[in-house]
Amino acid sequence: MVTLPTRNQIKQGLQVSIETKENQGSGILPDGVVDEIFTSSNVHPYEIKVRLEDGQVGRVKNIGNDIGNNTTQVSESIFENLDKKEIPKNEDKYNEFQKMTQDIKELLFDSTGIDDRTKLSKTASVMLKDVTDQKMKVFLTALSSDVLERNEDWINYVALSLTDVPPMSWKDDQREIFENNLVAVSSKFKRLAAIHFENISENFVKPSYQVTVTHADGSKHHNVVSLKPKQKEEMKIIAKDVIKIMKKKGFTNKDMSALIAILSSIGK
């Protein structure tokens, strides 16, 4: 289970252990007493940022008696922990928010190629242990979280991990930031998924294909391609047209391999 200390659990004078920017990924978690809390939201994908009395600044990993154990769990709904002024106050705004949540879910499922929360969480958990990139680690941690029971809360928590702002507080530019960041992390997600495809292939929508292209310089490009039924039929029509053209011009299977190589180099 992914566990995160919440802001409500962190007070001035509390003993905590933190991860500083300088020690990210090293496992070094200095202890100290909280002097100031910087994070305003109760739940944050990067953990709660504080300054200790000795001047060190970092994200809280453990609190109180849990220092060294990392067993603090988030049990509340993320929306119950947001400032009440951010919760939609009328039916129109609530419906608008519900639609935005649905849009986020569709974008998330479409970009990852997995259309089920449980399967997506399991896939993210498998890949998480091999990730060192901080932004990708935060995204996969949010995906693999099972402490938010409602799907609506989970979807918005994942969105928060890509924008640092709760969706209920998004402005137009933050929606664009989310979509751009989702494109970037989902591309990395697909590359990681291709490497682990043997163990996670059943989680992807059908049909899905593992694609690995080895370039002339020896570098490899990994990807997982998931096709929707309509898209699959359209691609089959295009492929048949290409084959007809190549046969008409007298091209051989060797030429077909050359075409595939050219297509892969264009997509590099």
Confidence of residue 132 (pLDDT cuts 50, 70, 90): confident
**3 pLDDT higher than 80:** no
Q: Are residues 46 and 112 in the same domain?
A: no
Report which of residues 141 and 168 the model is more confident about. Answer: 141
Cα dihedral across residues 81, 86, 88, 93: positive or negative: negative
Confidence of residue 192 (pLDDT cuts 50, 70, 90): confident
pLDDT tens digits for range 84-131: 444 555 667 778 888 889 999 999 998 998 889 999 999 999 888 878
Q: Are residues 194 and 97 in the same domain?
A: yes
Indicate the pTM of the whole model.
0.56
Query: Within a domain: residue 215?
Result: no
Rounded average pLDDT over 218-237: 77
Give the pLDDT confidence score for residue 121 in this predicted structure.
92
pLDDT tens digits for range 84-97: 444 555 667 778 88
**34 pLDDT higher than 80:** yes
Q: Are residues 59 and 12 in the same domain?
A: yes
Q: Are residues 95 and 61 in the same domain?
A: no
How many domains, in total, are found in the chain?
Answer: 3
Residue entry with tokens 């998004």: 170
**249 pLDDT higher than 50:** yes
**195 pLDDT higher than 50:** yes
Q: Are residues 93 and 180 in the same domain?
A: yes
Report which of residues 219 and 188 the model is more confident about. Answer: 188
Report which of residues 86 and 172 the model is more confident about. Answer: 172
Q: Are residues 184 and 106 in the same domain?
A: yes
Cis previous bond, 167, omega within 30: no
> Which structural domain, as residue segments, surrounds residue 25?
7-66
